[in-house]
């Protein structure tokens, strides 16, 4: 009599087991792709260095109080208007065509009472200590958006692509083409509209 | 009768499910590889603010600082005020330096100089706390920071 072979293990439930595991990992997976607003903090400076004088017209002062209300150059403003106002200020190019600060690529109103040149224009944000972080980020976001939209406009004019798109592609490593040369171009654009965002020390009082 | 059998043979055979486990296993392995178990347990609330002008975080060179109100189970011991968490423990503002130096030493040595501090701050926090952190970071000479946000725009709300 031939020996009986061992009965085969039923593999039918294999799929069920695998499904169970699959669902477990599906649920626990969090695709972490953190994104955010990058910033460079100013290094600590000697207190006896006198800060350079900035003309009042080259300053765009954004004050945020503890109730999250905005005061922009001494006028109250809604958050939704901040981006436009910042663009107008940065792109003003108020210097006359004879002065060395003349801005050739600016498309603003060229009003004398606003900034001379994007290179000179400084945006200063001052928060109260009790301002909510939400508003703080919203303000930062709008100001970065103002810079980005101007940079996009210039890169479109000069190179035919959008600054933010290409920068994202390079950061993600998906950019196909000459990276070095493109990074140089990005730098050129950045110099046309340099990010000059200063943050004043917040006031200690609640008012 | 012969008509019957003929009809039956021309019917489509049922789709074999024998390869189903293989397919499922493939998916399973994908998710097993992709899954990263959280290495830190969050002790503070984390509703990140929305922003759309964002850059990607380079994970290999970043250390995280969490801030926000303590989550419900820690409220009893740590109160309702905004608190800072580095690693898995609450940290006082004066001890940030030590905790960050420790986190920095865990990074790849080549990237330790390029350290980026990622601030994950709850949107309900006061800016004062964030300012204190930033002041401290300036003293520590870790000037590259990134405010982690979630996609969206606060103006759309």
Q: What is the tens place of the pLDDT at every residue in A8-41?
A: 777 778 778 888 888 888 887 776 677 888 888 8
Asked if A28 is an interface residue toward chain B (Cβ–Cβ < 8 A), one would say yes
Q: Is residue A98 part of a domain?
A: yes
Asked if A30 is an interface residue toward chain B (Cβ–Cβ < 8 A), one would say yes
Whole-number Å distance between alpha carbons of A92 and A113: 9
Mutating which of A17, A137, A145, A167 best tests the B interface, going by the most B Cβ atoms within 10 A? A137
Average pLDDT over every residue of B48-53? 86
φ/ψ (deg, to 5) at A60: -120, 100
Contacting residues of B for A141, CB less than 8 Å apart: 51-53, 149, 153-154
pLDDT at B5 over 70: no
Whole-number Å distance between alpha carbons of A194 and A187: 10
Q: pLDDT digit string (tens) for B70-111?
A: 888 888 888 788 888 888 888 888 888 888 888 888 888 888
Q: How far is A99 from chain B (nearest CA, A)?
A: 34
* Closest residue in B to A40 (Cα–Cα): B144
Asked if B52 is an interface residue toward chain A (Cβ–Cβ < 8 A), one would say yes
Confidence of residue A2 (pLDDT cuts 50, 70, 90): low
Range of the domain at A143: 56-148+194-199
Question: Strand locations in chain B, DSSP E?
Answer: 50-51, 55-56, 62-68, 83-86, 89-91, 116-121, 144-151
Contacting residues of B for A35, CB less than 8 Å apart: 54-57, 148-149, 151
Q: Is residue A88 part of a domain?
A: yes
Question: To which H or E segment does residue A199 belong?
Answer: strand A197-199
Q: How far is A9 from chain B (nearest CA, A)?
A: 15
pLDDT at B140 over 60: yes
Q: Is residue A99 part of a domain?
A: yes
Mean confidence (pLDDT) of chain B: 82
Whole-number Å distance between alpha carbons of A91 and A108: 5
* Closest residue in B to A41 (Cα–Cα): B143
Q: Is residue A130 part of a domain?
A: yes
pLDDT at A150 over 70: yes
Q: pLDDT digit string (tens) for A86-96?
A: 888 888 877 77
Lowest mean pLDDT among A94-98, A111-115, A135-139, B68-72: A94-98
Confidence of residue A129 (pLDDT cuts 50, 70, 90): confident
Residue in A203, A62, A201, A196 with CA at minimum distance from that of residue A125: A62
Q: Is residue A45 part of a domain?
A: no
Confidence of residue B10 (pLDDT cuts 50, 70, 90): low
Q: pLDDT digit string (tens) for A158-174?
A: 888 888 888 888 877 78
pLDDT at B9 over 60: no
Question: To which H or E segment does residue B26 belong?
Answer: helix B20-34
Q: Is residue A129 part of a domain?
A: yes
Give the pLDDT of residue B105.
85
- Is this complex scored with an ipTM above 0.90? no
Long-range contacts, stretch B20-25, CB < 8 angstroms, 24+ apart: B20/A15, B21/A11, B21/A14, B21/A15, B21/A18, B24/A15, B24/A18, B24/A19, B24/A22, B25/A18
Q: Is residue A143 part of a domain?
A: yes
Report how many domains make up chain A: 1
Question: To which H or E segment does residue A36 belong?
Answer: strand A35-40
Q: pLDDT digit string (tens) for B37-49?
A: 666 777 888 888 8
Whether pTM exceeds 0.80: no
pLDDT at A46 over 80: no
Q: Is residue A174 part of a domain?
A: no
Residue in A68, A39, A67, A132 with CA at minimum distance from that of residue B68: A132
Give the pLDDT of residue B157.
61
Asked if B42 is an interface residue toward chain A (Cβ–Cβ < 8 A), one would say no
Task: Give contacts of B 65-124 with A, CB under 8 A.
Answer: 116, 118-124
User: Does B124 sit within 8 Å of A40, measured CB to CB?
Assistant: no
Are β-strands A122-127 and A197-199 bridged in parallel, bridged antiparallel, or unpaired? parallel
Give the pLDDT of residue A168.
83
């Amino acid at each position: 009599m031939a020996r009986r072979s061992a009965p085969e293990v039923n593999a039918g439930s294999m799929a069920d087991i695998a499904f169970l595991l699959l669902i477990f990992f599906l649920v626990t997976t969090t695709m972490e792709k953190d994104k955010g607003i990058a910033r460079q903090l100013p290094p600590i400076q000697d207190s006896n260095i006198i800060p350079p004088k900035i003309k009042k017209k080259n300053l765009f002062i954004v004050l945020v109080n503890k109730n999250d209300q905005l005061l922009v150059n001494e006028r109250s403003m809604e958050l939704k208007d901040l981006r436009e106002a910042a663009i107008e200020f940065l792109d003003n190019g108020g210097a006359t065509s004879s002065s060395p600060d003349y801005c050739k690529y600016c498309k603003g109103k060229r009003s004398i009472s606003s900034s001379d040149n994007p290179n000179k224009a400084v945006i200063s944000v001052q928060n109260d200590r009790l301002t909510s972080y939400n508003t703080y980020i919203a303000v930062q976001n709008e100001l970065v958006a103002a810079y980005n939209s101007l940079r996009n406009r210039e890169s479109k004019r000069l190179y035919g692509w959008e600054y933010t798109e290409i920068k994202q592609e390079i950061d993600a490593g998906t950019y196909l083409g000459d990276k070095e040369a493109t990074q140089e171009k990005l730098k050129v654009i950045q110099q046309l509209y340099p990010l000059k965002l200063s943050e004043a020390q917040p006031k200690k009082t609640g008012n | 009768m012969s008509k019957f059998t003929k009809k039956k043979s021309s019917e489509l055979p049922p789709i074999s499910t024998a390869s189903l486990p293989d397919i499922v296993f493939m998916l399973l392995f994908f998710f097993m590889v992709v899954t990263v178990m959280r290495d830190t347990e969050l002790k503070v609330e984390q509703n990140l603010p929305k922003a759309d002008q964002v850059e990607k975080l380079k994970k290999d060179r970043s250390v995280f600082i969490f801030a926000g109100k303590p989550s419900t189970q820690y409220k009893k011991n740590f109160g309702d005020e905004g608190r800072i968490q580095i690693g898995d423990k609450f940290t006082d503002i004066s001890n940030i330096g030590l905790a960050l130096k420790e986190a920095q030493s865990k990074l790849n040595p080549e990237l330790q100089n390029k350290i980026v501090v990622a601030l994950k701050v709850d949107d309900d926090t006061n800016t004062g706390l964030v300012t204190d952190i930033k002041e401290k970071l300036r003293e520590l000479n870790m000037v590259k920071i990134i405010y982690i946000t979630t996609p969206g725009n606060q103006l759309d709300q």
